[in-house]
């Protein structure tokens, strides 16, 4: 629901600050006073194309700010939440138009593309008589309105869930069928690769272990030669070796230790070194006993390493990663070998989803057909009382050419003939703005309980009518306002008298500049304004009495 509108330097409005309420609000004023300015400003706030010509003469920038309560607009609440723009059941939309650059838009203080204003605006406000925001002209909205009228919300939700499941199965099946074209060649390759790796039977740690063994085998001659020479130097040379020299040195120092005790510690160090040398010699001898030249083993290790590196290159992995390739290929092979089973399962699931979808879609189509007849009859009857005698309204259901959709098997379109003898034409092609507004009013009154948009605005819905029809229009607007906030720009006293809130639009000259103003009228001022609308320039006591009687009767009813 629209709660506030602020306008600065827009057209001939210098500054305007209005608080709006629920129920039926009427706007009246003399011709040329600027009644359309308010709707033009609201249209800009909801995403209409901006032009710097709308900036008040002498100003640099125009700004419009509108505030909505979203308590009664769940679709708008969801839209805001999805974009992280929610703000405690309130939505503030601001639009600025500048002489020096492009216009800017904000939702709850955050910069927003103009397209977002249009999307959000269509969930908050429906302007009747202005095609830019006439949601009823859109076939998707017409379909939604018919489904809401028929009470199809639950059925539609089921249908959309089944449609999503059907679409998912179809996508998976298409992908599987596409992949099956390459399946045979892929299976042959995978089986060959798996067999190759299974024959190799590579252990998890084997690559590192073989690399180390190869290094040892390839250098066996050098290892043997060097180790034997060192063993000779340590203790195996009978003439001179490190063990003998250390033993001799230690013995001679021990003999002198009685003469000088300081030599005792050095002699002990030599004894310790002698022990270490003998242990090293013993370990080296064991090493030599185990070390042998084995050309056959070396050849085998080199061949296995070559096989490992060749397969690693083939699979584009490092040698140490090769043991992990086999499980991956086996998993792929298993999946492909199970593809026939999966294909059967998917085809069965797709058929089940299709059958369920068709059952729900037929139920939806039947419900739409029945609701379309009822809605057409009710709107046609209402048109007879709104100055369109002989007019007809119908709801056409056309099969969709693109097959399944989340909204059923048919498209919905509202068609109308406003005058006898004229063919039914799409609602979007109704030439007269007044006729379109009255047809829209009839539809909205009949479907008021189901309308999702909380604020409805009728721009001179009463053009070309008067007398009894004008009063009927006013009564229908008042009835509609019992379910939704209704704003109406009118020039008929019958409609104005039925308003629960009354604003007068006027203009005045100030310092050679024309300024438009809008003010809410007191009960006494309302009588004067309705009297002006009844009597024109000269307002008599009788006119005032008639105006008061109309307002009193409207408020009492």
Whether residue 255 sits in one domain with residue 359: no
Residue 130, pLDDT score = 46
Whether residue 356 sits in one domain with residue 325: no
Residue 217, pLDDT score = 67
Whether residue 427 sits in one domain with residue 493: yes
DSSP classification of residue 233: I
Asked if the structure places residue 504 within a domain, the reply is yes
The enclosing H or E element of 392 equals strand 392-399
Whether residue 369 sits in one domain with residue 509: yes
Residue 506 pLDDT > 70: yes
Whether residue 380 sits in one domain with residue 332: no
For the segment 333-354, the average pLDDT, to the nearest whole number, is: 84
Separation CA 535–CA 530 (nearest Å): 9
Separation CA 415–CA 413 (nearest Å): 6
Token representation of residue 222: 């050098």
8 A C-beta contact, residue 46 and residue 68? no
Across the beta sheet with 410-417, the strand order is 392-399, 410-417, 425-426
C-alpha count within 13 angstroms, C-beta hemisphere, residue 11: 20
Q: Which of 284, 311, 337 is the last residue of a domain?
A: 337
Q: How many domains does the chain have?
A: 2
Residue 249 pLDDT > 50: yes
The number of beta carbons lying within 10 Å of the beta carbon of residue 199 is 9
The enclosing H or E element of 93 equals strand 90-98
Question: Domain of 263?
Answer: 184-337
Asked if the structure places residue 150 within a domain, the reply is yes
Whether residue 356 sits in one domain with residue 332: no
For the segment 434-438, the average pLDDT, to the nearest whole number, is: 77
8 A C-beta contact, residue 463 and residue 431? no
More confidently predicted of 194 and 203: 194
Asked if the structure places residue 542 within a domain, the reply is no
* Mean per-residue pLDDT of the chain: 85
Q: Which of 287, 313, 337 is the last residue of a domain?
A: 337
Whether residue 331 sits in one domain with residue 386: no
Q: In sequence order, what are the residues at sequence separation of 6 or more whose Cβ sits closer than 8 angstroms to the Cβ of residue 329?
A: 190, 193, 194, 197
Separation CA 278–CA 283 (nearest Å): 9
8 A C-beta contact, residue 334 and residue 186? no
**Least-confidence region, from 88-102, 233-247, 353-367, 489-503:** 233-247
**Residue 23: pLDDT band by 50, 70, 90 thresholds?**
very high
CATH code of 372's domain: 3.40.50.300
**Residue 90: pLDDT band by 50, 70, 90 thresholds?**
very high
Asked if the structure places residue 539 within a domain, the reply is no
The enclosing H or E element of 176 equals helix 153-180
Residue 52, pLDDT score = 87
């Amino acid at each position: 629901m629209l709660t506030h509108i602020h306008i600065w330097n827009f057209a001939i409005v210098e500054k305007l600050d209005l608080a709006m309420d629920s129920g039926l609000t009427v706007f009246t004023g003399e011709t040329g006073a600027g009644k359309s300015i308010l709707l033009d400003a609201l249209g800009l706030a909801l995403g209409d194309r901006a032009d710097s010509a709308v900036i008040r003469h002498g100003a640099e920038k125009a700004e419009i700010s509108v505030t909505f309560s979203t308590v009664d607009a769940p679709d708008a609440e969801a839209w805001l939440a999805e974009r992280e723009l929610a703000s405690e059941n309130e939505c503030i939309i601001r639009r600025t138009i500048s002489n020096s650059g492009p216009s800017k838009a904000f939702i709850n203080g955050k910069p927003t593309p103009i397209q977002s204003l249009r999307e959000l605006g269509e969930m908050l406000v429906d302007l009747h008589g202005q095609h830019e925001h006439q949601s009823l002209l859109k076939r998707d909205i017409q379909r939604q309105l018919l489904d809401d009228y028929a009470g199809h919300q639950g059925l539609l939700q089921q249908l959309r869930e089944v449609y999503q499941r059907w679409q998912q199965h179809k996508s998976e099946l298409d992908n599987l069928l596409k992949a099956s074209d390459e399946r045979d060649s892929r299976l042959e390759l995978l089986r060959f690769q798996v067999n190759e790796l299974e024959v190799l039977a590579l252990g998890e740690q084997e690559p590192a272990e073989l690399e180390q063994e190869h290094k040892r085998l390839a250098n066996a001659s050098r290892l043997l030669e060097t180790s034997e020479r060192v063993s000779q130097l340590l203790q195996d040379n009978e003439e001179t070796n490190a063990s003998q020299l250390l033993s001799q040195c230690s013995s001679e120092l021990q003999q002198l230790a009685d003469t000088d005790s300081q030599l005792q510690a050095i002699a002990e160090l030599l004894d310790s070194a002698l022990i270490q040398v003998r242990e090293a010699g013993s370990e080296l001898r064991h090493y030599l006993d185990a070390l042998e030249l084995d050309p056959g083993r070396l050849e085998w290790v080199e061949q296995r390493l070559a096989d490992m590196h060749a397969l690693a290159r083939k699979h584009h992995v490092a040698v140490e990663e090769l043991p992990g390739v086999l499980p991956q290929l086996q998993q792929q092979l298993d999946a492909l070998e199970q593809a026939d089973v999966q294909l059967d399962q998917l085809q069965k699931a797709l058929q089940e989803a299709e059958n369920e979808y068709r059952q729900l879609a037929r139920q939806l189509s039947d419900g739409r057909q029945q609701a379309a007849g009822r809605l057409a009859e009710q709107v046609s009857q209402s048109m007879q009382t709104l100055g369109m005698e002989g007019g007809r309204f119908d709801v056409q259901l056309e099969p969709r050419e693109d097959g399944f959709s989340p909204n059923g098997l048919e498209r919905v379109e509202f068609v109308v003939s406003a005058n006898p003898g004229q063919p039914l034409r799409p609602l979007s092609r109704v030439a007269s703005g007044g006729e379109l507004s009255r047809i829209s009013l009839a539809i909205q009154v009949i479907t008021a309980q189901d309308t999702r948009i909380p604020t409805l605005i009728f721009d001179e819905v009463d053009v070309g009518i008067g007398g009894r029809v004008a009063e009927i229009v006013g009564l229908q607007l008042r009835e509609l306002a019992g379910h939704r906030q209704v704003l109406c720009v009118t020039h008929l006293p019958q409609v104005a008298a039925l308003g629960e809130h009354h604003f007068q639009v006027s203009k005045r000259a100030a310092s050679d500049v024309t300024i438009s103003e809008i003010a809410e009228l007191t009960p006494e001022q309302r009588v004067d304004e309705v009297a002006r609308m009844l009597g024109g320039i000269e307002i008599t006591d009788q006119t005032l009495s008639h105006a008061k009687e109309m307002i009193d009767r409207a408020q009492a009813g």
